[in-house]
Amino acid sequence: MPKLIDKFGREINYLRISITEHCNYRCFYCRDDEHTPNCKREDILSYEDIQRIVRLFAELGISKVRLTGGEPLLRRGIVKIARLISSIDGIKDVPLSTNAHLLEKFAPKLHENGINRVNISIDSLMPNRFKEITRGGDVNEVIKGIDAAIASGMHPIKINMVVMRGNNDNEIESMIDFAIEKGIDVRFIETMPIGSAGIDATSLHYSEKDILARVTQHLKNKITPLTSSKTDGPAKNFKINNTQSSVGVISAVSNHFCQTCNRIRLTAKGDLILCLGQEDAISLKDAVRSDLTDDEIKTMIVEAINKKPEKHEFNSSIDNISNRQMAEIGG
């Protein structure tokens, strides 16, 4: 199997696909209050587009494909998309990222059709605070979704909390306890300055160092560092001893992980994004809808990978990402 290796020697084996820009939540750090997706049906990748693109990436060594959004469960045919991707030779891991509001309904069929595990965004366990952060969300629906994912057999199940100073940082400990009670994993994420909404939230930044201090104090050092597997994401993970759970921190800003970055992103409109902190992109939608051959498109992909930057510039420049919405990129 050939490998996608960029000019910095990083092997790219992980593709994140946003299958819709729409979301039923409007988290204030993710999407501008006035932003509305401008995405017609013909603008987004079709089932056939997605299947062909993923097949070509699999032939280039991609083995993990994560479905994201927006909120992916809003995409009509989500179960069919999961089945198409999971049946492609070489694709071994098809996780889902979701806010879980609709997961109670979809979890069994998704698991039956190839979604082996799920990451769930939940930034507060307090109903009123959760509603404020998401601009209308219902944390009880999310918890029902988590329980449905557990019952379906998905594993591992990870809950992700964006920690924001003075907003929800006093729930770090309760979120750990919730994860342990459910037998699932929890990851705490630093805010990222992507789009004007993300830039506005930089004042709420809560660092990896501060998060880990709270985690360690709460668990009284009863954690053991975990070694990441080849296609794992960027979290620094720890096993919570004598439980079924782990805790992790994703520190894109204070302690970036660019030297080990193994991922690329495909937007719902078919743009291949090489780095969250850069504007460079190529349109694979245009490529697969043209008369280009598979080999010609794979050559395009390889050439694009060689333009993947060495690192993001979150700490020094935000001008190049101020016009993006995280929901458009696929988180």
The domain in which residue 221 lies consists of 4-329
- The CATH number of residue 134's host domain is 3.20.20.70
Q: Would you state the pLDDT for residue 201?
A: 60
State the pLDDT at residue 167: 95
Question: How many distinct structural domains can be found in the chain?
Answer: 1
Q: Token pair of 238, please?
A: 């720890």
Residue 316: the pLDDT is 47
User: What pLDDT does residue 317 have?
Assistant: 47
Q: What is the mean pLDDT of each run of 10 residues along the chain (331 residues)?
A: 87 96 91 72 94 98 96 97 98 98 98 98 98 97 98 98 96 98 96 62 85 95 86 83 96 71 94 82 96 97 92 53 58 59
Handedness of CA 120, 123, 124, 129 (dihedral sign): negative
pLDDT of residue 284: 97
Cα–Cα nearest to 73, from 20, 28, 112, 123 = 20
CA atoms of 101 and 104, how far apart (whole Å): 8
Structure tokens at 197: 């909404």
CA distance linking residue 135 with residue 28, whole number of Å: 7
- For position 41, what pLDDT does the model report? 81
Please give the model's pTM, rounded to 2 decimal places: 0.91
Pairwise CA distance, residues 3 & 143, whole Å = 39
